[in-house]
Structure 1
């Protein structure tokens, strides 16, 4: 591998097998070429409540599904990116499968994964992958292939608990008031319920909560009665 390619290698797409707690447990797959495409999909479930005999429906939030993302990247066995050293495409596919789909003896299932490319870092599982062989040598062996892989994001339980605590209405929050902000709206942003704005006004000793001073900081205390 030439010096330039070796210098870029740490920044290439990496797929690391990890255990339930996020600790690496196997050999990572390091892509020779960076992804040609990274597509991220987000889905939100809404429940439609339609009144009998009326057109249309009110939508109520149900849940946010885990993100899914798709990667497209190339495997090459011609040596074009490795200073003439030819790494068989079939071997590269084996390494990819070992990291992503191989059943781990201790786990009795494929490993969870950590995918990292640039600033994109995600713990996830592999949903599916397709390897399309696009070039062959004179014997019929593949020397180039395209990989299309789809993943579903996974939040490590301890991390999920921490994120939940940070957004909990049982904790004290602080917000800086911007020009035009209204107390009921700010209250809704913190508690997902604007009905607590009078409690917030009392906690901050506001004389006129309808005219907030821009630049001031409001304290949103733990709420006593969650609805």
Structure 2
């Protein structure tokens, strides 16, 4: 008989990473990962663009431009077993507990039901004309951005060929924390027409949130600038942000 300190996860479950959709048709949807990643990597780079210096005999100057930050990690999924460390909703945990008691051939939880929730975060949302913006939270980590790249690898199958274990390599690209910025810096008189120059990573949705506090106002900006395809913004392009009542 084992005698010793009990598993602390039984008394106080581990805090799980959550991914929340912050705009669009599924605004407010929250996904709790089944297992926390073992590590995550944050990275940022600076691009150096060469420009000819005027009247300097062909000498070149270096003009820096920064890329947005990226966050990458690997998520693990397993529907074969259950334990105190497994995340998800109370319903999910009950499913895992019941499924873990079944023999291998009788297990009925397809791991794709859980990987697909995250994979679908790259689907185009017509209500905001973009893929959905996200908020990632895990203890002190708070990251706002988009799921830019995701690779699923299925590593275990039951006797009937149904996948029951998988990993996902996820890469998120940061977008400035527009919602928090809006709280700290009140909107600049949305009843006044303004002009903005497009920079790398800009989107009409982001401009609408920052200027009007309403992501659906991207249509107003698109209409005012005659943009047939609002997804195609060119760096350096000057856009008019019309006044609204």
What CA RMSD, in Å, does the superposition of the two structures yield over aligned residues?
Answer: 3.2
The reply to whether residue 92 of structure 1 matches residue 114 of structure 2 is: yes
Relative distance call for 1:76 and 1:69 in structure 2 (3 A) is: same
Report which of the two has the higher share of strand.
1
- Point out the structure with max Rg over C-alpha: 1
Deviation string for 1:73-123 (max 9, x for gaps)? 10111123356344531110232234x134445334331000112211111
Relative distance call for 1:88 and 1:7 in structure 2 (3 A) is: farther
Relative distance call for 1:158 and 1:132 in structure 2 (3 A) is: closer
How many pairs were matched up?
156
Q: Which runs of 5+ in 1 are unaligned?
A: 166-227
The reply to whether residue 15 of structure 1 matches residue 36 of structure 2 is: no
The TM-score, its normalising length taken from structure 1, stands at 0.57
Q: Secondary structure at the match of 2:13?
A: helix
Relative distance call for 1:44 and 1:143 in structure 2 (3 A) is: same
For residues 152 and 47 of structure 2, the distance between their equivalents in structure 1, rounded to whole angstroms, comes to: 32
The reply to whether residue 32 of structure 1 matches residue 34 of structure 2 is: yes
For residues 34 and 113 of structure 2, the distance between their equivalents in structure 1, rounded to whole angstroms, comes to: 13
For residues 138 and 71 of structure 1, the distance between their equivalents in structure 2, rounded to whole angstroms, comes to: 30
- Out of 150, 170, 176, the residue aligned to residue 155 of structure 1 is 176
Alignment of 1:1-227 (within 5 A): 4=9, 7-8=12-13, 11-19=15-23, 25-48=27-50, 52=57, 58-61=61-64, 63-81=65-83, 82=86, 84-86=97-99, 87-98=109-120, 100-104=121-125, 106-157=127-178, 159=180
Q: Which runs of 5+ in 2 are unaligned?
A: 1-6, 87-95, 100-108, 187-245
